[in-house]
Amino acid sequence: MQVLIVGGAGYIGSHMVKLLCRRGCEVTVLDDLSAGYRDAVLAERFVLGDLGDLSLLDKIFGANHFDGVMHFASHIQVGESVRDPAKYYRNNVFKTQCLLDAMVAHKVNHFIFSSTAAIFGEPVRVPIDEEHPKNPINPYGRGKWMVEQMLEDYEVAYGLQAVRLRYFNAAGADPEGELGERHEPETHLIPLVLQAASGRRPHITVFGADYDTPDGTCIRDYIHVADLCEAHWLALQRLWQGGGGGAFNLGNGNGFSVQEVIDVARTVTGREIVVMRGERRPGDPARLVADSRRARTELGWTPQYADLATLVDHAWRWETR
Ligand code: UDP
């Protein structure tokens, strides 16, 4: 099977490329390397280019017969999306539409979309199931929700079948140590905590310790990148077997507080981690935990790395590689 991975040089995309190659797919990666790394692409076919380049898309789709497309090429910083919404709507919405239009024009009907828990906004109930109201509170989340709605319309009008996967907190690294998280700048908790453990940073700042949670710090659902990729694989199988599109929340269903993450990191690394107390980060809900029962029952998905210590250990091996 031939699969196009847009954003295959980035964190989650690069892990996905590795998995698909392992499963015998012919993988083509399209990436502009704005946030990815050429050496993270473990596939032979790599196209350096912009998703908004319509003639390039036409050329790629004209030269291949893709059985599926996965799209990981998003900007991901919530704060930046508030300061510069144009950047987010242009890249995450407009350029995604360019991709979808090329798929429709070339009759490629199977699409896996990387969505996010940010489409739900401030939760009205936790754990968050797929039917939870969608009320995104920043341009990042709004753009992702716009694309989800676009996909529903494209399915009705053009028969494009899409599986929309809403990630909770993606974390961890390739269990074999070949790939990991390399965001520049890094904003995610687990890599930052581990950089504080390795000495690359002087400390970790906890954004708010006065939330309505047992230890006062925010609770998140950390899901291993390898488990996320497995869910994409199962979603692709579903499309190929005629199971149709749909939306799935991807998390472990276990919430860990920022303080618990730091404690686990101290145990796993055996290092001292200096903690500073900081202000709340605007737009951070107290608790985000997924109800992933639909992915488990309908996709047959079972996360293998539900244990936070294992996840942190994989990320630590990457940090100290
Ligand atoms: N966080 C923190 N300090 C940091 C980075 C993150 O306390 O330097 C907290 C953040 O406020 C949130 C949790 O860690 O409660 C996870 O944040 P992250 O940015 O990793 O993912 P998000 O939940 O925003 O997708």
Residue whose C-alpha is closest to residue 100's, from 140, 159, 145, 29: 159
Distance 193 CA to ligand 1 centre (A): 10
Q: Quick check: CB of 284 below 6 Å from ligand 1?
A: yes
What are the structural domains of the chain?
Answer: 2-170+223-250 (3.40.50.720), 173-221+253-320 (3.90.25.10)
Backbone angles phi, psi at 214, to 5 degrees: -55, -45
* pLDDT of amino acid 163: 98
Nearest one of 231, 162, 185 to 12, comparing CA atoms: 231
Q: Whose CA is nearest to atom 18 of ligand 1?
A: 188
Ligand 1: atom nearest CA of 280 is: 11
**Lookup: tokens for 80:** 């930046």
Question: In this structure, what token pair is assigned to residue 228?
Answer: 């996320």
| Token pair listed for 234 | 């199962």
- Selection from 114, 89, 228, 213 nearest residue 171 by Cα: 228
166: Cβ below 6 Å to ligand 1?
no
Which mutation among 75, 258, 277, 287 tests ligand 1's pocket best, with the greatest number of atoms within 8 A of CB? Answer: 258
Closest-lying ligand 1 atom to the alpha carbon of residue 190:
20
> How far from 149 is each of 93, 119, 123, 299, CA to CA, in Å?
11, 11, 20, 21
- pLDDT of the chain along its 321 residues, tens only? 999 999 999 999 999 999 999 999 999 999 999 999 999 999 999 999 999 999 999 999 999 999 999 999 999 999 999 999 999 999 999 999 999 999 999 999 999 999 999 999 999 999 999 999 999 999 999 999 999 999 999 999 999 999 999 999 999 999 999 999 999 999 999 999 999 999 999 999 999 999 999 999 999 999 999 999 999 999 999 999 999 999 999 999 999 999 999 999 999 999 999 999 999 998 889 999 999 999 999 999 999 999 999 999 999 999 999
β-partners of residue 128 are 290
Neighbours of 258 (CB within 10 A): 25
- pTM, rounded to two decimals: 0.97
